[in-house]
Chain A
Amino acid sequence: MSAPSRRGVALEAALRARRDAGAKLLVTYVTGGLTPDWVDYLQVMVEAGADAVEVGLPFSDPILDGPTIQEASARALALGTTPTGVLGALAGREQPVPLVVMTYYNLVFRAGLERFAGRLVEAGVTGAIVPDIPLEESGPWEQAAAAAGVAAVLLAAPVTPDDRLAELCRRSRGFLYGVNLMGVTGERSSLSGSAAALARRMKAHTDLPVVMGFGISTPEQAAAAASDADGVVVASALVRAVLDGASVAEIGDRVGALRAALDRG
């Protein structure tokens, strides 16, 4: 086995530094392999002010994703996208911000936990979000990720009781992901009513960066969702635009608008 090359920007340190400098964090998402030039979308997100980028490794059965990311995953898979292909593309270009993969546990499990974590490191990926394993099942993955130097990001939901929230805060690495609503990913016309309460509970429990996601679509929603937290993830709204044919420059403009809204506060 070749020694991991240890590139990539450490997730937690980068996000803490930005937060402590007074910025609201912007994390954007692109489905790996969605189009042949998908890395250009990632690149423009970084240039337009994303503080970290989530890269989806498409899975055949994404149970926590709504129609938009389902469609993107299916399209990427139909193009022959594999985890190896996506990670290989990432390894080809060094980025100035942390990269985080988002995927489902079977892809991790099938590869083998240690081997999967090692591949992330080789690709310069420093964090991973695996939303279909709760605390009771995520221990082995957390250990494998930690051993490889990958931050295993855990997710809290509106129904998470305080004792579980404390445990999530203790075990999450990189940041703590707050799922805004009881539901799947996807664009929404308004921000979930449960978002602010969850964000405040998370902030009260931890000093880790607290980032909210699911359903955040517009710059106004991003600013509102970030007000009780340290930042936001915007995924489906950007993926929808790509699916509808948005150019790289247009995605750059959208991310720029999100950045500006967060900076205005």
Chain B
Amino acid sequence: MTTTTGRAAGMGQPTATGRFGEFGGRYVPEALVPACAEVEEAFRAAWADPAFVGRYHDLLRDYAGRPTPVTECARLSEELGVRVLLKREDLTHTGSHKINNVIGQGLLTVAMGKRRVIAETGAGQHGVATATAAALLGLSCTVYMGELDMARQELNVFRMRLLGADVVAVRSGSRTLKDAVNEAMRAWVSEVDTTHYCLGSVMGPHPYPWMVRELQRVIGDEAREQCRALLGGTDPDVVVACVGGGSNAAGTFAGFVSGSARLVGVEAAGGSAVGRGVPGVLHGMRSLLLQDETGQIKEAESISAGLDYPGIGPEHAYLAGTGRAEYAAAGDDEVLDALQLLARTEGIIPALEPAHALAWLARSARDGSVPAGSTVLLTMSGRGDKDAEAVMGILGGSAARP
């Protein structure tokens, strides 16, 4: 096994100021500095405390349904000529990997003596997960969501309200995920004493990119052991996951980064921060961002509300720079095709977000850039129920492509 160990190539702790290479940091107004420092200190202590970590893993097991299986996809593998294994985050309670993060941050909220959480959401999965953890732990919860996303993800809005959360429509800017983050940060400043900001991906100011990756690394840690059991002690050749902010990908990569697997993150073509972004500062972090030549942030555009974000977590920007991971993009049409392909070959309807990773895999297997016979682990970050209505709207009655 070739190893690229050591801090530069691995996924260790960021520097004391929260940097991964040049990326990361804590670019927040003075009023939020003490709160970010408090979260960092609390998480550092909690993550080193066996009682906290034990409670987190107990809840992941007994409440969220972990470990999630790795599913061998015989018919899809035959179709693509590569051996496809899916890490089934879609089978968790609430239907996506977001639950891993919110169970951790929910417990942290309690440990910090706070009784309230706020969150941003795009697809609504993080909002639903946060509302769920809040209900479980007896916390009050407000979720900020772009007006456009509320229309695209009506079902999730209803689920959040059913779970007792307030959902606040964000009407500024592009009315999507980026604006929901803006509004959540504004709200946090005014209630920072009593409220924890439960950020949903590996983005934002330090310690969030690191903390959320740690809370998601259970995906990669489980998958590595499961793959080794299936593959006679070796890692897959390729490990691929979709990237919005990048939390399911970061959690997956964390399990494989010290091995030799090729790591691939797939962004939405209309939100490809690695492909078309340049370094900048937004939402508390320095990272790669879609922006114009004067520094105004551009609006991402994607069929998938969860990938509709003009940036990427700073650790991904760093991994792209070192070359340890590579980042590709998938467009709306091939994503819809991939969604249907998985549905019909495996009986699994994926969310639109992981359908991006599938689309990349289908394309790469067909053009040979993932060689025939390769073994590929793909993180199935969420199930497709939330998107069924939107996809139905696009495909109409003809969801029966050849």
Contact = CB atoms under 8 A, between A and B. Distances in A.
B29 A155 contact: yes
B29 A132 contact: yes
A132 B296 CA distance: 15
Contacts of A13: none
Contact of B26 (A70, A108, A136, A183): A136
Contact of A107 (B26, B192, B295): B295
Contacts of B178: 61
Nearest to B34: A159
Given A63-B182, A184-B190, A110 B29 contact: no
A84 B294 contact: yes
Contact of B172 (A70, A84, A161): A70
B197 to A, nearest CB: 12
Contacts of B17: 136-137
A82 B296 CA distance: 9
B186 A64 contact: yes
B97 to A, nearest CB: 26
A182 B189 contact: yes
Interface in B103-155: none
Contacts of A62: 182
Contacts of A179: 29-31
Contacts of B54: none
Interface of B is mostly: mixed
B189 A134 contact: no
B29 A131 contact: yes
Contacts of B31: 157-159, 179, 182
Interface in B40-60: none
B25 interface: yes
B30 A110 contact: no
B282 A159 contact: no
A66 B173 CA distance: 13
B27 interface: yes
A197 interface: no
Interface string B2-40: 000000000000000100000001111111011100000
Interface string A63-94: 11010001000100100001110000000000
Contacts of B341: none
B280 A183 contact: no
Interface string B166-185: 00000011000011001001
Nearest to B278: A110
Interface in B239-288: 278-283, 286
A63 B280 CA distance: 15
Nearest to A186: B186
Contacts of B191: 182
A51 to B, nearest CB: 24
B388 interface: no
Contacts of B294: 82-84, 107, 110-111
Contacts of B73: none
Interface in A175-191: 179, 181-184
Contacts of A155: 29-30
A160 B33 CA distance: 8
Most chain B Cβ neighbours within 10 Å, of A70, A107, A134: A134
A132 B281 contact: yes
B152 to A, nearest CB: 21
Contact of B297 (A84, A106, A109, A136): A106
Contacts of A161: 34
Contacts of A82: 294
Interface string A144-161: 000000000011111111
Contact of A137 (B26, B190, B193, B282): B26
Interface in B188-203: 189-193
A247 interface: no
B282 A61 contact: yes
B30 A109 contact: no
Contacts of B27: 105, 132-134, 137
A182 B34 CA distance: 12
A74 B171 CA distance: 12
A134 B26 contact: yes
A68 to B, nearest CB: 12
B26 A110 contact: no
A83 B294 CA distance: 7
Contacts of A136: 17, 25-26, 33
A182 B190 contact: yes
B291 A61 contact: no
Given A83-B294, A110-B291, 4 more contacts: A60-B173, A155-B29, A159-B31, A159-B35
Interface of A: 59-64, 66, 70, 74, 77, 82-84, 105-111, 131-137, 154-161, 164, 168, 179, 181-184
Interface of B: 17, 25-31, 33-35, 172-173, 178-179, 182, 185-186, 189-193, 278-283, 286, 289, 291, 293-297
28 contacts: A59-B295, A60-B173, A60-B296, A61-B179, A61-B297, A63-B186, A63-B283, A74-B172, A83-B294, A84-B294, A105-B281, A106-B281, A106-B289, A107-B295, A107-B296, A108-B295, A109-B295, A110-B295, A111-B294, A133-B27, A134-B26, A135-B33, A137-B25, A137-B26, A154-B30, A155-B29, A160-B30, A183-B189
